[in-house]
Structure 1
Amino acid sequence: MLGIDCPKPKGRWPTAPFDPRFPKQNQTRNCYQNLLDYRPCVKRMRRRGKSTQPCEYYFRVFHALCPMSWVQRWTEIKDGTFAGKI
Structure 2
Amino acid sequence: MSTIEEKIQGFKTAPFDARFPNTNQTRNCFQNYLDYHRCNKALTAKGQDASPCDWYQRVFKSLCPISWVAKWDEQLENGTFPGKI
Q: How far 1:13 sits from its partner (Å)?
A: 5.7
Amino acid at match of 1:18: F
Question: TM-score under structure 2 normalisation?
Answer: 0.81
Amino acid at match of 1:83: P
Distance between the aligned counterparts of 1:35 and 1:54, measured in 2? 14
1:26-45 aligned at under 5 Å gives the runs 26-45=24-43
Kindly name which structure, 1 or 2, has the bigger radius of gyration based on alpha carbons. Answer: 2
RCO greater where, 1 or 2, for CA within 8 Å and sep 6 or more? 1
Gaps of at least 5 residues in structure 1 are: 1-10
Number of residue pairs the alignment of both structures matches: 76
Mapped contact 1:13–1:64 kept (Cα < 8 A): no
Which secondary structure state, in structure 2, belongs to the residue aligned with residue 24 of structure 1?
coil
Amino acid at match of 1:33: Q
1:74 to 52, 69, 72: 72
Q: How far 1:12 sits from its partner (Å)?
A: 8.3
- Verify: 1:54 aligned to 2:52, yes or no: yes
* Percent identity (aligned): 55
Which has more helix, going by share of residues?
2
State the 4+ residue runs in structure 1 displaced beyond 2 angstroms. Answer: none
Distance between the aligned counterparts of 1:35 and 1:16, measured in 2? 13
- Cα RMSD, aligned residues only: 1.6
Alignment match, 2:5: none
Distance between the aligned counterparts of 1:34 and 1:12, measured in 2? 18
1:8-19 aligned at under 5 Å gives the runs 14-19=12-17
